[in-house]
Amino acid sequence: MNLLTRYLAKEIYLSVLMVFAALLMLFELLDLINQMNEMGDTGYHMGYVLLFVLLTAPNHVYELFPVAVLIGTIFALVQMAANSELTVYRASGVSLKQMINALLRIGLPFMVACFVVGEFIAPPSQHLAQQIKLKAKNTNVSLSEFRSGVWVKDEGSFVNVKNVLPDTTLLGVSIYQFDERYHLRSITAADRASYQRGQSWELSGVRQTKFSETGARVNQLGTMEWRSSLSPNIFTVLLIEPEQMSAWSLYQYIRHLDDNKQKTARYEIAMWNKLAYPFAVLVMMMLALPFSSYHRREGGVSSKIFLGVVLGLGFHFSGKLFANLGALKEWWPVFSATAMIWLFLGLALTMLWRTERR
């Protein structure tokens, strides 16, 4: 059995790498064409475009993991079945359970690699790509949740931010501070806010209005320290989509939203999806196993690969659709994030059961 596992691993790893290369080149080409359409009179020239496309590659690798593993495994198994190699293995006494165990052992490195790429490589790479693009185009992030910018609750204050620079410097900051009885105590308006350390921001171009029982008093200040639970990581959400963030960053942002009694559904779904997504790789390995039952009357290798592509893309897009529906309908986040994984696991077990009965 160890010999079979090593041979299977060699064939599957080579096939998956080939599929990864083909899919990644396709997605990178589409990204290149899309980014070239944004080139203009600004500093966003071909060098920056190529760098942006290169930095977004890890995110594509992460998203394509289940699809590439499914197609690559199907290709390897069907080729072995066509050469009667799997028939020899089964005839020599290898059971279906042993085959499943072998595939799961082979899939473990894929699962670990998927988690590492999605948690530690893709998010910072995607963030850096967005920063480089914004700096090259000499633009900032426009916060368009409302006409006045974005509003964030920070303990006893409400904070309004008009724009964010790629280095998370805040522009057009207004801080409305209330007391325990929700009476407005002060309004602090600043042109810029730069993060220092230890939950501290440096405000510049400050105009502060304080309210008391005797009236209002306005002060013009050059700079001012602002102690806040808001951090640059919170505003990183504005640069990249929640689905492209790490699970740890999502957890921190969810805590911030929860502490301020704000909706967290979309970010909870994204976090649970990050944690569950690597297990989809093992599900795809199991889903590929029924394709090893090779019969020429059912079509050749190309038909099996085509069906694998359809299933893989179906998993990819239906997962995104279900997550968006879950955020819209406020379904249980764990269910919204893992529903497609459980559905495809059920499909894999059903196909295996039918294959064994024949």
pLDDT above 90 coverage of the chain, percent: 42
The pLDDT, as a whole number, for residue 238 is: 61
Q: What is the pLDDT of residue 1?
A: 55
What does the pLDDT look like over 269-306, one tens digit per residue?
Answer: 999 999 999 999 999 999 999 887 755 445 566 787 88
Is pLDDT of 92 > 80?
Answer: no
pLDDT digits (tens, 9 = 90+) for 44-67: 888 999 999 999 999 999 999 999
Q: What's the whole-number mean pLDDT along residues 3-22?
A: 91
- Ranking 25-29, 290-294, 339-343 by mean pLDDT, the lowest is 290-294
> Which residues share a beta bridge with 223?
204
State the pLDDT at residue 138.
66
pLDDT band at 237 (very low <50, low <70, confident <90, very high): low
199-227 pLDDT tens trace = 789 999 999 999 988 888 888 888 999 98
pLDDT tops 60 at residue 258: yes
Instruction: Tell me which range, 88-92, 214-218, 227-231, is most confidently predicted by mean pLDDT.
Output: 214-218
| pLDDT the model gives residue 98 | 87
- Between 240 and 81, the more confident residue is 81
- 74 or 243: which leads in pLDDT: 74
Give residue-wise pLDDT tens across range 144-197: 455 667 788 877 788 988 887 767 788 899 999 998 888 899 999 999 999 987
Residue 21: the pLDDT is: 95
Over range 80-101, report the average pLDDT. 80
Q: So what's the pLDDT on residue 45? A: 85
pLDDT band at 120 (very low <50, low <70, confident <90, very high): very high
pLDDT at 9: 93
- On the question of pLDDT at 30 being above 80, the answer is yes
Q: How confident is the model at residue 140 (pLDDT cuts 50, 70, 90)?
A: low
Asked whether the predicted pLDDT for residue 262 surpasses 90, the reply is no
Domains of the chain: 2-137+264-357 (no CATH), 144-230 (2.30.30)
Confidence of residue 308 (pLDDT cuts 50, 70, 90): confident
Residue 37, pLDDT score: 86
